[in-house]
Amino acid sequence: MPPKPKLQLDKGAWQWAETTDHTQVTDEHVKRAYRLNLPTCVKGACKRNCKGNPFCLNSLGEKSWFQPLDESKLQTYDHNEDRRQEGHFVGLKNLGATCYVNTFLQLWFHNPAVRKAIYAWRDPALPTEYYAGWKPDSICGHLQVIFALLQGSIRSKICMTGLLTVTSLVPYQDAQEFSKLFLHVLESALSGNTTLTENVIENQFCGSYVYVTECQNCKSQSERPATFYELDLNIRGHSTLAASIKDFLQEEKLEGDNQYMCNVCNSKQNAKRAIRLRRLPAVLNLQLLRFVFDKNKGHKKKLSSFIQFPETLDMSPFLQDNGKGTDHGLYELAAVLIHRGPTAYSGHYIAHIREQEIGSWYKFNDEEIEKMNNRKLELGKEEDNLEGGSSEKAPKVSKGYHSSRNAYMLVYRRKNQEGRLSLYSDLPAAVRGYVDNDNQEFENYVSEQLHVQVSDRDFFNQCNRPSYKVLLIICYFVKFQYNRNLPIIMTWVTTQWLSNWLSSPSSWEKVTNKIFKCPHGKLRADDVVKMKCISKEGVNQ
């Protein structure tokens, strides 16, 4: 029932005192003073508790006790599942179309030279020790923290949100553009640091070639040198990596409207132009141009044709001097970057990376990381045909070769290249402190969630115990039984105690009403508004 105004309840409790002599006070008058004559509020009828009615038990926290109990809603997820397993790598969360960024971060983290440079980099404003709230504010600083977490975190997956806040490249570039631009941004950021003695990006990824143009009239040659961080290889019409490399180096004829201006002849002449590789980098990035512009449709499309590539790549035949006298032309496959999807504007990015120390292959799929069997590259389901994709069957390949319809980048590492993986201790103290703090936050979170689950389970079990259900039933029907003169012994408890108990039965305190007693050891009538009347049997249970 809706609560009566306070003045009305007070008046009803003591109005009889104005016309009744003290010698004529009866039990009925006492009941009115203690408001035991008031009707019981129907369960759920009051939005707020009626403070003046000792029989109103609404809005005290009892609602959840009377709702249907659904055990399936209890939290059962074990947050220790988010804990990194010993010997496993750490994954990266997908923040929404950032899977291609995750693949490159894992790729660079597993490059010993890049990791060493990132660990050695020092921010001039870096504190000597970590303090609460410290965060990096630069690209290199965020990479340092991400790499530190990838090595030292106890989480199975981490978030790289901070990196996205300091670079504008991510939302506006596709995977191939991002790789090029980010390496240049990173090179610029690292080169300005006094703690680094070499340009690691240049040393690792930069090669050189020359455009050689030969005049067909005077046979003179001109050369224009250029550097590259990756080779863009056309795969249209080719089925092997070797064929794509040959196409890249193929001689081009300059004729007709495209004639060459010869400085020797001092006139335009027919000419031949070709690219000649002079120096190859330690890590050879080969971009397979799988996403090409379709002039007829006015947008990019994906080429889903298979391309074969070897585990060991000999680049000597493609070098200007044929690599004579050196083994610098021999490379071993280090990573395969996959785009799984039928179009250039949708799909998912995955990286297969060969870990350098042991030589095992791993598949990095955002949060999920899978180790391949027997140290062998297994492209697996990402080569399955998807709706809208090519139905071409995978060709048979020789031993030591692989074939893919979805690979868009191949990474080769120079064979027998030495590279010590950086130690966690090489990181700045502040960054190590950041990781330690993050690990502690994870431990606290797991502990808190476990406590919540235990509390929820305890509450569920409490609600299913007959004694508690009996208590509430007695609480709600005590007035009905009392009015019928049934042998029910009542007692008073404070409203606050009852509310606390309903909210947390497992942490209840002993009932005490001493502060509300009069000199005669009875409840003061003025304190009825702070009390509720329930059965003593229910309290004892």
- CATH number of domain containing 342: 3.90.70.10
User: Between 95 and 387, whose confidence is greater?
Assistant: 95
147, 233 in Cβ contact below 8 A?
no
Q: Residues 41, 50, 56, 99: which is the catalytic one?
A: 99
pLDDT of 61: 73
pLDDT band at 68 (very low <50, low <70, confident <90, very high): low
One-letter amino acid identity for 102?
N
Q: Is residue 194 part of a domain?
A: no
Out of 416, 450, 477, a domain closes at: 416
**In terms of domains, do 218 and 366 share one?**
yes
Q: Is residue 438 part of a domain?
A: yes
357, 421 in Cβ contact below 8 A?
yes
pLDDT of 3: 44
CA distance 301 to 263: 41
Candidates 408, 303, 433, 419; CA nearest to 356 is 419
196, 190 in Cβ contact below 8 A?
yes
Q: Is residue 198 part of a domain?
A: no
**In terms of domains, do 479 and 351 share one?**
no
CA distance 506 to 461: 11
As a whole number, mean pLDDT of residues 63-82 equals 64
pLDDT at 473 over 70: no
**In terms of domains, do 107 and 151 share one?**
yes
Active site residue 142: no
Beta strand ranges found along 248-378 (DSSP E): 252-254, 260-262, 267-269, 271-279, 283-288, 291-294, 299-302, 307-310, 312-314, 330-340, 348-354, 361-365, 368-371
Residue 79 DSSP code:
G
- Both tokens of 163, joined, read 């990196």
pLDDT tens profile 283-328? 999 999 998 888 888 888 889 899 999 999 999 999 977 655 455 7
- Both tokens of 319, joined, read 């070098």
Q: Is residue 200 part of a domain?
A: no
pLDDT of 524: 84
pTM over 0.75: no
**In terms of domains, do 244 and 362 share one?**
yes
Residue 83 DSSP code:
B
Count CA atoms closer than 13 A to 279's CA, side-chain side. Answer: 14
Buried b (16+ CB within 10 A) or exposed e, 247-274: ebeeeeebeeeebbebeeeeeebebbbe
For residue 21, what are the contacts with CB-CB under 8 A and spacing of at least 6? none
* CA angle at 181 for the pair 250 and 167, rounded to the nearest 5°: 170
CA distance 220 to 215: 6
For residue 94, what are the contacts with CB-CB under 8 A and spacing of at least 6? 102, 366, 367
- 3-state class (DSSP) for residue 203: helix
pLDDT tens profile 136-195? 988 899 999 999 999 999 999 999 888 887 776 555 567 778 888 888 888 888 887 777
For 202, phi then psi, to 5°, come to -65, -45
- Both tokens of 121, joined, read 């980099």
**In terms of domains, do 370 and 287 share one?**
yes
For 67, phi then psi, to 5°, come to -80, 155
CA distance 43 to 40: 9
**In terms of domains, do 227 and 353 share one?**
yes
User: Between 214 and 454, whose confidence is greater?
Assistant: 214
CA distances from 446 to 132, 152, 155, 274 (A): 20, 18, 11, 61
One-letter amino acid identity for 9?
L
- 3-state class (DSSP) for residue 240: strand
- DSSP secondary structure string, 55-75? T--TTSS-HHHHSPP-GGGS-
Lowest mean pLDDT among 48-57, 208-217, 287-296: 48-57
pLDDT at 279 over 60: yes
pLDDT tens profile 341-384? 888 778 899 999 999 888 899 999 999 999 988 778 888 666 66
- Both tokens of 377, joined, read 């590259």
**In terms of domains, do 78 and 107 share one?**
yes
pLDDT band at 42 (very low <50, low <70, confident <90, very high): confident
% residues pLDDT > 70 (the chain): 80
Range of the domain at 159: 71-179+427-464
**In terms of domains, do 431 and 392 share one?**
no
424: Cα separation from own chain's centroid: 22
CA distance 386 to 346: 12
User: Between 60 and 257, whose confidence is greater?
Assistant: 257
- 3-state class (DSSP) for residue 101: helix
Number of domains in the chain: 3
**In terms of domains, do 515 and 366 share one?**
no
pLDDT tens profile 408-433? 999 999 988 776 777 888 899 999 99
pLDDT tens profile 75-130? 666 778 889 998 899 999 998 888 889 999 999 999 999 999 999 999 888 899 99
**In terms of domains, do 484 and 451 share one?**
no
Q: Is residue 188 part of a domain?
A: no
Q: Is residue 89 part of a domain?
A: yes
CA distances from 281 to 204, 228, 277, 315 (A): 6, 9, 11, 11
**In terms of domains, do 336 and 244 share one?**
yes
Q: Residues 29, 79, 328, 348: which is the catalytic one?
A: 348
Candidates 416, 417, 335, 284; CA nearest to 105 is 335
Active site residue 99: yes
pLDDT at 240 over 50: yes
User: Between 527 and 167, whose confidence is greater?
Assistant: 527
pLDDT of 384: 61
- Both tokens of 83, joined, read 């804990």
Mean of all residue pLDDT scores within the chain? 82
pLDDT of 27: 84
Long-range CB contacts (within 8 A, 24+) of 131-138: 131/433, 132/437, 134/430, 134/434, 135/162, 135/434, 136/162, 137/166, 138/166, 138/189
pLDDT at 330 over 90: yes
Out of 395, 416, 437, a domain closes at: 416
**In terms of domains, do 392 and 473 share one?**
no
Q: Is residue 189 part of a domain?
A: no
CA distance 345 to 173: 11
Q: Is residue 191 part of a domain?
A: no
pLDDT of 381: 66
For residue 59, what are the contacts with CB-CB under 8 A and spacing of at least 6? 46, 47, 48, 49
pLDDT tens profile 480-512? 444 445 556 777 888 888 887 777 665 666 767
